Amino acid sequence: MRTVTPSDLAAALATDLDGAFPDLVRETSAGVFSGALRLVGNRHDAEEIAQEAFLRAYRALQGYPTDRIRDMNPAAWVWTIAANLCRNHHRTRSRRPVTADLTVDPTDRSPGPEAEAIDRTQEERLAAELQRLTWPMRAAVVLHHVVGLPYEEVAAALGRPVGTVKADAHRGLARLRSRIEEVRP
């Protein structure tokens, strides 16, 4: 499996949407799902959001002129769609209890049971603390530090200035650190 550059992918989508769209999905689906999972804290909802993001992306691309498609960064654009879906999900479920599921690969059981239990407890604590952050802080932390998007792409995906996104990420990490250290024995 080869990695496609954003400009090559955009050119391919502009030329042959049906042929290149699977490349877009292959290149970005793991990151979109992983980021959505950390933003919404629930595997099922993250899968729904990722699928909906790609469906909306495909439908939108069908109506875009080729020059607009060539000029875009497809991965960042899909992230914009996914981030908006996560934001909408957050708004509609704000009164429901949070259940977090951040397990990346449930079949990977390499550490022993005690280490695994400790890791799972720490992961659950981190997930709960992530959910306590404000939406802008959580989105900035997850998209930049977990998914690995540059601040410029995070800002574009969230529709916020780069400086604001950097501040949100910094404040979010600081809050996570202080909250996690509060509960350490």
Residues of the chain with pLDDT under 50: 1, 95, 98-104, 106-107
111 contacts: CB under 8 Å, gap ≥ 6: 119
Neighbours of 40 (CB within 10 A): 25
Q: What's residue 98's pLDDT? A: 47
CATH 1.10.1740.10 location in the chain: 1-96
Q: What's residue 76's pLDDT? A: 86
Report the C-alpha gap between 6 and 25 in whole angstroms: 13
Q: For 21-159, where are the E strands, in sequence order?
A: none
| CATH number belonging to domain 1-96 | 1.10.1740.10
Q: What's residue 49's pLDDT? A: 95
Q: What's residue 59's pLDDT? A: 95
| CATH T-level assignment (fold) for domain 112-185 | Arc Repressor Mutant, subunit A (1.10.10)
Query: Residue-wise over 139-178: b if at least 16 C-beta within 10 A, else e?
Result: bbbbbbebbebeeebbbbbbebeeeebeebbebbbebbee
Q: What's residue 57's pLDDT? A: 95
* C-alpha closest to that of 79 among 176, 12, 169, 146: 146
Q: What's residue 115's pLDDT? A: 54
| Residue 92, CB-side half-sphere exposure with 13 Å CA sphere | 8
CATH 1.10.10.10 location in the chain: 112-185
Q: How much is the pTM? A: 0.70
Report the C-alpha gap between 169 and 87 in whole angstroms: 16
Q: What's residue 20's pLDDT? A: 94
Report the C-alpha gap between 110 and 76 in whole angstroms: 34
Q: What's residue 107's pLDDT? A: 47
Q: What's residue 58's pLDDT? A: 96
Q: What's residue 55's pLDDT? A: 96
Q: What's residue 129's pLDDT? A: 86
